[in-house]
Structure 1
Amino acid sequence: MKKWLYDNWMRATPFLAIYTFILVFLYVRDANYALYLIWLQGIIYWIHEFEEYILPGGFLEFFNRNMMSSNQAEYPLSKVGSFWINIPLVYFAMPFSAVIAHFFGLEWGLWTAYFSFLNAFAHVVMFFKFGRKYNPGLIISILLNIPVAIYMIWYFLSNDLVSFNVNVISIIVAILAQASMMIYGFGFLKPKMEKDAICK
């Protein structure tokens, strides 16, 4: 069962994105536009992951070969590692924030826009870092993640939907969420790979 999840979790992304979008477009957009924008962040991120892992896919190999300088497509970042990086954050934390924002206030969802922007911006940085080389996730980052995140942040701030303190906290939470991915990659996987090389 676990192996099946590790191999197939990303296949749910197009269905989650389509059906969730239909629901929030029909029942949330007109009732609470700001909440609708919060939901959009998770939906767009599922589309982003579709590009990373399904069509064209190949993010694991790109990350390992380029970011980790590995000669293996699924090492040191494996399908298992990818599962545990993405599931808690994208499948639970982002949608959960939208649900909490519905019941307890919009301030609970602003961090998702900042996180979406930061993660997408990292793909743009990788594009230039590796000689204008495409990386899986780049197209959706440019077309959806970055512009929609910026628009949501602008909408919230221009309409005074959150306080200055909430805005600062949202930025910090987003940075911590993005940093957790980088720490896992460069603080754990990279040293592990170097240690494995020494043991061999």
Structure 2
Amino acid sequence: MYVKDYSYPLYLIWLQIVVYWFHEFEEYILPGGFLEYFNHNMMKSVSGDYPLTKAGSFWINIPLVYLLMPLSAILAHYFGIKWGLWCAYFSCLNAFAHVVMFLKFNRKYNPGFVVSVLFNIPIGIYTIWYFLSNNLVSTKINIISIVIGVLAQASMMIYGFCYLVPKMKKELQ
């Protein structure tokens, strides 16, 4: 909380991380079940722990959410706020993916959906709006932040659909 008094924009960047960790808590702890949901609904697998495994989920989330996001906030503190805006874009994009899953699968709950709707999307949009309305980053930095956010989200989707699906199909042959 000390960051809020020091620099409100930096606080908003750190808040993205806390909100995303809360999102992960909903996905994996309470109520949890994201692996099972993803495998059954997105991958059409009969197994709740295949093709996306706990290890696979670990290697998707740890580098991005637990290393790169905090590293970006640290860089934003020491080298300029521009280093952290991508976190808000990524958080929003991932949250919108949960909304799409909700709509696609007959308006049924998916782990991560509630935090996405109540926190990730509103706080992410507010952060982006705050940065843009206060001219805290240039258009170039905003575009770069969007691209990084999209690439971060795409990396998760590419892993799922370009690695796990072919792997599953190959093993079924």
Structure 2 length-normalised TM: 0.99
Deviation at 1:179, TM superposition (A): 0.4
Opposite residue 95 of structure 2, the aligned amino acid is: A
Tell me whether 1:103 sits opposite 2:103 in the alignment.
Answer: no
Secondary structure, counterpart of 1:70 in structure 2: coil
Paired position in structure 2 for 1:169: 144
Tell me which of 44, 56, 60 is aligned to 1:69: 44
Structure 1: unaligned runs, 5 residues or longer: 1-24
Q: Does 1:131 align with 2:109?
A: no
CA distance in 2 between counterparts of 1:102 and 1:47 reads 22
Deviations, residues 134-188 of structure 1 (Å, cap 9, x unaligned): 0000000000000000000000000000000000000000000000000000000
Q: Could you say what the CA RMSD is over the residues aligned between the two structures, in angstroms?
A: 0.4
Task: Give distance in 1, aligned partners of 2:45 and 2:101.
Answer: 16
Name the CA distance, whole Å, in 2 between partners of 1:81 and 1:113.
Answer: 24
Residue 8 of structure 2 corresponds to which residue in structure 1? 33
**Pairing 1:48–2:34 present:** no
Distance 2:21 2:154 in 1: 20
Of 188, 193, 199, the residue aligned with 2:163 is: 188
The match for 2:69 is 94
Displacement, 1:31? 1.0
Q: Distance in 1 between matches of 2:5 and 2:17?
A: 19
Matched pairs, number: 173
Among candidates 109, 117, 124, match of residue 142 of structure 1: 117
SS at match of 1:69: coil
1:60 aligns with 2:59: no
Correspondence for 1:160: 135
Structure 1: distance between partners of 2:156 and 2:128: 23
- In 1: Cα distance, 2:94 partner to 2:108 partner: 17
Deviations 1:42-73 (A, max 9, x none): 10000000000000000000000000000001
Give the TM-score normalised by the residue count of structure 1. Answer: 0.86
